[in-house]
Amino acid sequence: MITLGDVVRRQLHVPTIPAVRDVAALLAEGSDDIVAVLFYGSNLRTGATEGVLDFYVLTAGPPERGMWPTVSYREFDLHGDTLRAKIATMRLATFAKAAAARTIDTTIWTRFVQPSALVWVRDPDTASQVAAAIGDAAKSAARFAAALGPATGTADSYWRALFRQTYAAELRVERKGREGQILSFDPGRYSELLPLAWTADGIAFRDDAGLLKPDMSPARRRALLQAWARRRRAGKPLNIARLVRAAFTFEGAARYGIWKVERHTGVAVPLTPWREKHPILAAPGVLWRVWRARAQTSEKTV
């Protein structure tokens, strides 16, 4: 009989391309406190290295002071290519607590109910701890999906209801229907995952040829909806606070921002020492440069 743990371990050990494993190994060299590196996001789904590779670096370090995770951006020259990576770093213990929805934050369990790969880990015991945390993320997401979804529906309908609610709670700019893109990548995985997560979380349900009906008492459903309401109210303020913090602490912010500008506008902006040291102060000048370059291009085509 397949369990939630089986599905989680299978996903965490999905093969990844050598370039991703190479970057993970380099990230792991950064500190003796690093115990695991997770790879996630659209590049995991596509197997491509274009754009920015997304990593979570988990540590055994001291408790965070202030908000988590810390975020940085780095570029790696490997095998003749430049690979770009955005790195979120936090303690494994904090990650596990957030995945189990024992914090008001929603960002960890909503992201890691989606596929991720354990591309570097210190030892088997740590691998087990990471797998347990990812399993808890699935249970947290499934629990709220049961409360936020329809009384009866397919697994897809429960996941769609959940992701619509989480996107609305967080300060994220997503196209309408983004949840459909996530689910369409591997619909069989999500159909398999939901009943396994409910079972692991002690939620009874009926399955009538794929139509699911969670058997929850009115009191438990009400408690979950109240818990979700608290998270929804806190979602946007938490995200705004993270954005403000990142503006001052995002290591490599200037390099990342200039790469994004060139990628989306086609305007090359030199990375000067001053811009790298003062990315916020430099932003108006960069935007002015982009505006002038695009205006001049428009004049030439008239």
Over residues 51-78, the mean pLDDT reads: 90
pLDDT tens for each residue of 139-197: 999 999 999 999 999 999 999 999 999 988 876 545 556 677 788 888 899 999 999 99
**Contact between 22 and 52 (Cβ < 8 Å):** no
Average pLDDT, the chain: 85
Over residues 38-67, the mean pLDDT reads: 90
Q: Starting at the edge strand that comes first in sequence, how are the strands of the sheet with 116-121 ordered? A: 70-78, 81-91, 52-59, 34-40, 116-121
pLDDT band at residue 281 under the 50/70/90 scheme: very low
**Contact between 162 and 194 (Cβ < 8 Å):** no
pTM value is 0.82
Q: What pLDDT, on a 0 to 100 scale, did the predictor assign at position 101?
A: 97
Helix (H, G, I), strand (E, B) or coil at 3: coil
Over residues 39-49, the mean pLDDT reads: 90
Q: What pLDDT, on a 0 to 100 scale, did the predictor assign at position 193?
A: 97
Over residues 226-244, the mean pLDDT reads: 85
Q: What pLDDT, on a 0 to 100 scale, did the predictor assign at position 302?
A: 47
**Contact between 215 and 204 (Cβ < 8 Å):** yes
pLDDT band at residue 28 under the 50/70/90 scheme: very high
Asked whether residue 277 carries a pLDDT value surpassing 80, the answer given is no
pLDDT band at residue 248 under the 50/70/90 scheme: low
∠ CA 201-96-2, nearest 5°, is 40
| Crossing angle of helices 124-148 and 218-249, rounded to 10° | 120
**Residues near 219 by beta carbon (within 8 Å), at least 6 away in sequence:** none
Whole-number percent of the chain with pLDDT over 70: 77
Over residues 222-238, the mean pLDDT reads: 93
Asked whether residue 282 carries a pLDDT value surpassing 90, the answer given is no
**Please, which contacts does 123-130 make with residues 24 or more away whose CB atoms are closer than 8 Å?**
126/35, 126/36, 126/92, 127/12, 127/36, 129/92, 129/96, 130/12, 130/36, 130/38, 130/58, 130/92
Q: What pLDDT, on a 0 to 100 scale, did the predictor assign at position 124?
A: 97
pLDDT band at residue 292 under the 50/70/90 scheme: low
Q: What pLDDT, on a 0 to 100 scale, did the predictor assign at position 167?
A: 86
Over residues 87-109, the mean pLDDT reads: 96
DSSP class per residue in 128-149: HHHHHHHHHHHHHHHHHHHHHS
**Contact between 156 and 190 (Cβ < 8 Å):** yes
CA-nearest of 136, 20, 134 to 87 is: 20
**Contact between 240 and 231 (Cβ < 8 Å):** no
Q: What pLDDT, on a 0 to 100 scale, did the predictor assign at position 175?
A: 52
Q: What pLDDT, on a 0 to 100 scale, did the predictor assign at position 46?
A: 87
Asked whether residue 264 carries a pLDDT value surpassing 50, the answer given is no
Nearest-angstrom CA–CA distance, 75 and 72: 10
Nearest-angstrom CA–CA distance, 233 and 224: 14
Please give the residue that has the higher pLDDT: either 61 or 58: 58
Please give the residue that has the higher pLDDT: either 101 or 252: 101
